[in-house]
Chain A
């Protein structure tokens, strides 16, 4: 079945440094949808980014990600971390016609002053 791998469970950075959270996926289907969801403390997950177009950069709220089907990756990046970016980040995969979304295990990002 489909799967999503987020290699880092915990990431701690200093404010102002760049952020990169890794996400790779596996699916037999050629047209996946990839998502990043963000969950702040005591809140529910909400969509941050989504993409289904190969090699096209998607941006929202200072974050960006590019779907690379050749490497099955959808890494999340930001040029300069802010304290408010501290949250749990989920990478997720869906394929057209499949009612389910497959979530990765999540990466907890902590930004320190």
Chain B
């Protein structure tokens, strides 16, 4: 089974702060995804990637950047954090040809 890890698990920052969320998967999956989860909205896709150096825009990208540095590592960047970005963030990965996604444990971000 795929192993997806995220760090940090919890993060508190202030409005205007700079935050980087990290995700690593160890099963050489091609695709990686960043979601945010909010009550009443479910899982919303921020950005995704199908390989190192590739970035695709998701459904709610405003205020977020992302970078896929290697097959294993996918980062989400909030350069000017706002309280509206307070949320639970999940990273997920999947393999080529298999639609099942494997999720990491999540990062809870609070922007004061």
Hey, which bits of chain A sit against chain B, CB under 8 A? Answer: 9, 33, 35, 43-47, 50, 90, 94, 99-101, 103-106
Contacts and interface: CB of A to CB of B under 8 A. Distances in A.
B105 A104 contact: no
B42 A104 contact: yes
Interface in B48-103: 48, 50, 56, 58, 90, 99-103
Nearest to A106: B42
A109 to B, nearest CB: 14
A6 B96 CA distance: 28
Given A46-B102, A105-B41, 12 more contacts: A35-B100, A43-B105, A44-B103, A45-B90, A99-B31, A99-B48, A99-B50, A101-B101, A103-B42, A103-B44, A105-B42, A106-B42
21 contacts: A33-B99, A35-B99, A35-B100, A43-B105, A44-B90, A44-B103, A44-B106, A45-B90, A46-B103, A90-B42, A90-B43, A94-B99, A100-B45, A100-B48, A101-B99, A101-B101, A104-B42, A105-B41, A105-B42, A106-B42, A106-B43
B100 A50 contact: yes
B105 A44 contact: yes
Contacts of A101: 99, 101
Contacts, number: 40
Interface residues of B, number: 20
**A interface secondary structure, majority:** loop
Contacts of B106: 44
B99 A50 contact: yes
A45 B90 CA distance: 9
Nearest to A101: B101
A100 B60 CA distance: 13
B103 A45 contact: yes
Contacts of B104: 44
Nearest to A94: B99
A105 B38 CA distance: 9
A44 B90 CA distance: 8
Contacts of A104: 42
